[in-house]
Structure 1
């Protein structure tokens, strides 16, 4: 089993960045719309994009939190599908990875 401390630190840093990004997105979404109808239409289109970004960031946060939970449970680095070890290269590239390459490719 790989040493998890470096992964934990990286995941915690990523989590903090993602949570900051989500707060910014939510703040932007909470801004009132301009009373001018043409400007309001543009702002509503921007909101659609911001909402999609917020959904993606929320999913990333959940993925990082699950990885941190696996570290806490001493299950980190093992594929949640087949139980085999996830390669260090994969974890270095995607520390939140829950699947080994073989299971991820099966999709």
Structure 2
């Protein structure tokens, strides 16, 4: 089974996530306002941005694992039962590591 279309999608998402993470890092390292009320709001915003950064890092890892599996020839195999994940599931979630039965 050829996964070239999914590989291209994963690579595009990887680039998008890397760009997002770069923007998040830039936002987190910016200087805060001198006004204490504004600083409080900025710190709350920093917490949200940090959470988004953590989610982005997790997505980056999942995408990279999928790309590594494509390179190794093990992409599309369920990590639990070893069965085929199925192309419809991979099209919906290209970084899936489990088949529908094992994902529950």
TM over 0.5: yes
RMSD: 0.6
> Paired residue for 2:35?
36
Structure 2 length as normaliser, TM-score? 0.98
Question: Where do 1:1-107 residues align within 5 Å?
Answer: 2-105=1-104
* CA distance in structure 2 between the partners assigned to 1:91 and 1:71 by the alignment: 12
* CA distance in structure 2 between the partners assigned to 1:81 and 1:5 by the alignment: 24
TM-aligned CA deviation for residue 7 of structure 1 = 1.0
* CA distance in structure 2 between the partners assigned to 1:54 and 1:81 by the alignment: 29
What secondary structure, in the 3-state scheme, does the structure 2 residue paired with 1:34 have? coil
TM-aligned CA deviation for residue 35 of structure 1 = 1.0
Give the aligned length.
104
User: Where has structure 1 moved over 3 Å in runs of 4 or more?
Assistant: none
TM-aligned CA deviation for residue 96 of structure 1 = 0.6
What secondary structure, in the 3-state scheme, does the structure 1 residue paired with 2:31 have? coil
* CA distance in structure 2 between the partners assigned to 1:59 and 1:22 by the alignment: 11
* Unaligned segments of structure 1, at least 5 residues: none
